Amino acid sequence: MKLIIEAIEAKLQAQKDDIFFKDLQIQDLKEQLAAAEKEIAELKQAIEESKTSIKINLSRSSITQRSAAIQFQRSFDDMDDETAKEILEIIARNKKSGL
């Protein structure tokens, strides 16, 4: 009888060890997935930042928005960094105020 109890206890301990090991594996996989997701986000950002041209869909834009986009495109090559910074600040302010 004692041998049966010891065998059952050994089996239970082996199952506990197996569950613990699998739990560690799951945690490791979660960490790898999180790292991969972060890397994907960084790669997408790098792709966006390295684009040399963009396409803007103006089909649902107002006439004023279209005019602004066209004017921006026409003056882009001659724009200095200070003007570009000012435009970015205006856009950032509009985002913050919910416009």
The C-alpha atoms of residue 54 and residue 68 are separated, in whole angstroms, by 16
Q: Are residues 74 and 46 in the same domain?
A: no
pLDDT, greater one: 71 or 6: 71
Q: 11 and 40: one domain?
A: yes
Are both 4 and 46 inside the same structural domain? Answer: yes
Specify the pLDDT at position 48.
87
Q: What residues make up the domain containing 65?
A: 54-99
- Helix or strand or coil: residue 88? helix
Q: 38 and 67: one domain?
A: no
Whether 1 and 26 map to the same domain: the answer is: yes
Tell me how far apart the alpha carbons of residues 80 and 87 are, in angstroms, rounded to a whole number: 11
For the chain, helix, strand, coil in percent to 5 are 85, 0, 15
- What does the alpha-carbon distance between residue 8 and residue 82 come to, in Å, rounded to a whole number? 76
pLDDT of residue 4: 85
Please count the structural domains in the chain. 2
Residue 41 and residue 82 share a domain: no
CA nearest to 69, candidates 52, 44, 60 = 60
Does pLDDT of 99 surpass 70?
no
Which pLDDT does position 1 carry in this prediction?
81
